[in-house]
């Protein structure tokens, strides 16, 4: 396992200052991000750039999101520690680790088998204990519903109905919606069994969310 050295911690502190300058206000979110070594989730080719506000390829056509995107989505959840969160798209495991560092009870689904098999031991070795699943995130995880929060880490062409139905009343879905190079970030808060309050939060760039069977490559 990689080491988290003084130089990495110094680079993270600079990154935290940058995230503040970009508008991240939650000290709890910033503390969680400061506690998670992002370079653990990158290949050696990208490790020296781990604390720049950039996305990087992680294989299978997927990316690790920019730190600002991770911070913003986590901030938009706006939940207390101990709440139950479903993540759609484990990817490298970095966003999942940040959610765990926030003190949430995390369930995470990944449809690419090789990413799932990499993330599971990495997160365990770091001391995090999310419930990870290999499968189709479009369907959510109804057996563990309802959730206080659901976070989607890939661009969806539309909001999956199954995810809305798995929110508690008062729960919130954070999801980038749209096709093309950028998507619009939305939060949908369930205000009653049949009603949702929708808010927009600007443009972000994600890889597309795919609705199909899980992939073994």
Question: Does residue 98 carry a pLDDT above 50?
Answer: yes
Cβ proximity of 167 and 146 under 8 Å: yes
What is the model's pLDDT at position 215? 45
Mean pLDDT confidence for 190-199: 97
SS3 category, 130: coil
What share of the chain has pLDDT > 90, as a percent? 82
State the pairing for strand pair 183-192/62-64: unpaired
79 confidence band (pLDDT: 50, 70, 90): very high
CA–CA distance, 37 with 28 (Å, rounded to integer) = 16
Q: Which domains does the chain have, with CATH numbers?
A: 6-204 (3.40.50.150)
- 62 compared with 98, residue with greater pLDDT: 98
Q: In 10 A of CB 124, how many CB atoms? A: 13
Question: Does residue 214 carry a pLDDT above 50?
Answer: no
Mean pLDDT confidence for 61-75: 94
Structure tokens at 180: 């093309």
Question: Does residue 10 carry a pLDDT above 80?
Answer: yes
Query: What is the reported pTM?
Result: 0.94
Mean pLDDT confidence for 129-145: 95
Active-site residues, by number, are 65
| H helical segments located in the chain | 6-21, 27-35, 67-77, 94-101, 113-125, 161-165
Strand partners, 86: 107, 150
207 confidence band (pLDDT: 50, 70, 90): confident
Cβ proximity of 70 and 56 under 8 Å: no
Mean pLDDT confidence for 155-179: 94
| From 58-62, 99-103, 168-172, 210-214, the region with the lowest mean pLDDT | 210-214
Question: Does residue 85 carry a pLDDT above 50?
Answer: yes
What is the model's pLDDT at position 211? 60
Give the tens place of pLDDT for each residue, 18-46.
999 999 999 999 999 999 999 999 998 88
Mean pLDDT confidence for 74-90: 97
What share of the chain has pLDDT > 70, as a percent? 96
Mean pLDDT confidence for 64-83: 97
Cβ proximity of 77 and 101 under 8 Å: no
């Amino acid at each position: 396992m990689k080491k988290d050295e003084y130089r990495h911690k110094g680079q993270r502190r600079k990154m935290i200052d940058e995230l503040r300058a970009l508008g991240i206000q939650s000290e709890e979110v910033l503390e969680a991000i400061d506690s998670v070594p992002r370079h653990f989730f990158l290949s050696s080719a990208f490790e020296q750039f781990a604390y720049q506000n950039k996305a990087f390829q992680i294989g299978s056509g997927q990316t690790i999101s920019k730190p600002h995107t991770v911070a913003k989505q986590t901030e938009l959840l706006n939940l207390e520690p101990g709440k139950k969160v479903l993540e759609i798209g484990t990817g490298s495991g970095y966003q999942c680790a940040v959610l765990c560092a926030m003190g949430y009870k995390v369930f995470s689904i990944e449809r690419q088998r090789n990413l799932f098999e990499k993330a599971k031991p990495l997160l365990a070795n770091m001391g995090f204990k999310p419930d990870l699943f290999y499968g189709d995130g479009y369907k959510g995880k109804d057996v563990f519903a309802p959730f206080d929060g659901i976070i989607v880490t890939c661009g969806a062409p539309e909001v999956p109905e199954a995810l809305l139905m798995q929110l508690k009343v008062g729960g919130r879905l954070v999801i980038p919606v749209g096709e093309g190079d950028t998507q619009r970030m939305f939060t949908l808060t369930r205000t009653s069994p049949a009603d949702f309050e929708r808010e927009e939060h600007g443009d972000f760039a994600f890889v597309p969310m795919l609705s199909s069977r899980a992939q073994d490559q």
